[in-house]
Chains A and B, each alone.
Chain A
Amino acid sequence: MSFKTPANLQYLSSHEWILIDGDTATVGITDYAQDALGDVVYVDLPEVGTTFAAGAEFGVAESVKASSELYLPAAGEVIAVNGDVSQQTDLVNTDPYGKGWLVRIKLSGDKAPLLDAAAYTALVDSIKH
């Protein structure tokens, strides 16, 4: 099985993606992450206005089998939370880079070490061997 890793995104080694657009960014979990987790049944996301350091835990996604902490690829303040995902958690599985996005942040500067699509694809391939 091969996983989608869109070239316009950057990635954390803990399987979150970030789409940076000026001084704001959208964050979600990768196709590989949603597949590894299985059917997502709960997503715990922060309140709008919460601020986080780069790499900080900002929420949790839960499937029947496992919990997965969610880490923020860049420092910032949460300016929007995807309410659709709380109501319809399978969006994370069916459209992880689109309707399954998790939070939007206003960037405050710091970034965690980010991978480009090629480096992240190589990481996923090395996990799958």
Chain B
Amino acid sequence: MSEELLRTVLHGEHLRLNARMVEFGGWDMPVQYTGIIDEHRAVRERAGLFDVSHMGEFWVEGPDALAFLQHVTTADVSQLAIGHAGYALFCRPDGGVVDDLFIYRLGEQRYLLVVNASNIAKDWQWIQPFASNFAVTLGDASPVTALMALQGPGAEAVLASLIGDVAVTLLFHGVAETTLLGQSVIIARTGYTGEDGFEIFCANDHAVTIWQALLAAGATPCGLGARDSLRFEPCLALYGHELADDINPYEARLGWAVKLSKGEFVGSAALNDLKSNYTRRLVAFEVTGKGIARGGYAVQDTTCNPIGVVTTGMPSPTFGKPLGIALIARAEASEGNQIDIIVRDKPVRAVVVKYPFYQSRYKK
């Protein structure tokens, strides 16, 4: 059963930095270098650098690239100009979420999709049958592509010190093909932390040079632990927690990412029905009793009836108190409502609060 874990091209760099390594979705990844709280603060206050090369990259090219993406995703990709990126979902015919993804438009008929590491094989299989009806070429570049996320209010200055104005002029959700340290890269002003920042795609061969240069320019190396706490506070969904095959976008508060007005697409009929007819909803809560909520813990109303489950919970590094996200009965989801989280067999009181906890600070 001891299957060999996958390694990103930056694996040796993580070991050199004495990172604590953990298994994540079949990959041997750094969970922290010095500590999750230090790394979390580095991103909220300065600039942090993450290796996210485990994520999947699919190229979609050809005369029908747009029509194909309109069909298989929930986004209105016709509104995406060259040099821009947007959030989208793959949905099943029943409206469940196959995965969430970012779509980067790099040319007239050329798009890059970034999907979750744990869903690369599933997504690749999911989109194949639809592709046969379109004049489109799909390519899985995941094994040959490295991806680094440079995030935080200081990210622009760090990147600008290596690449100059490109870092400054790139707009929120903008994407550009350029050169960095003499190598071809794709740089996008996107991320998953609630802060301004960039994601840098490059060929595996160039990743170590770029990684070392960004650290030398002042970025703090950050692991998956801080990535999770940073995405948790602005309530950015993580597949397998806030999103799953049996959770629909309206339950996950992602109705804004479903563009029913664009016409029919995979899942559109079911989503049209679900839009005004869903029974559960993600809520943000603060634990007011004694205990820490964790993903998977049961949620009850105050008279012990089961109403849902915690999707993510932890002591928030920014707010210094235990917070959580839960998927619960919609009738219980209003702000101010009292709920109980079952922590080690005992109910611990919590209150539904404003969603999200942390207002993202993007540079728009």
Which of A's residues lie within 8 Å of B, judged by CB? Answer: 1, 35, 38-39, 41-42, 44, 60, 62-65, 67, 69
Contact = CB atoms under 8 A, between A and B. Distances in A.
Nearest to B38: A39
Interface stretch (B28-36, B81-89, B123-131, B213-221): B28-36
Interface of B: 18, 20, 31-32, 35-38, 40, 225, 228-229, 290-292, 294, 314-315, 317, 322, 344
A44 B31 CA distance: 25
Given A41-B315, A65-B31, A67-B292, A60 B344 contact: yes
B36 A63 contact: yes
B36 A65 contact: yes
A118 to B, nearest CB: 25
A64 B31 contact: no
Chain A interface, >50% SS class: strand
Contact of A44 (B228, B290, B294, B315): B290
A64 B290 contact: no
A42 B294 CA distance: 14
Given A38-B32, A38-B36, A39-B35, A62 B315 contact: yes
A38 B18 CA distance: 14
For B38, B40, B314, the residue with the greatest tally of chain A CB atoms inside 10 Å of its CB is B314
B32 A42 contact: no
Contacts of A67: 292, 294
B36 A39 contact: yes
Contacts of A64: 36-37, 40, 225, 229, 314-315, 317
Contact of A42 (B18, B228, B292): B292
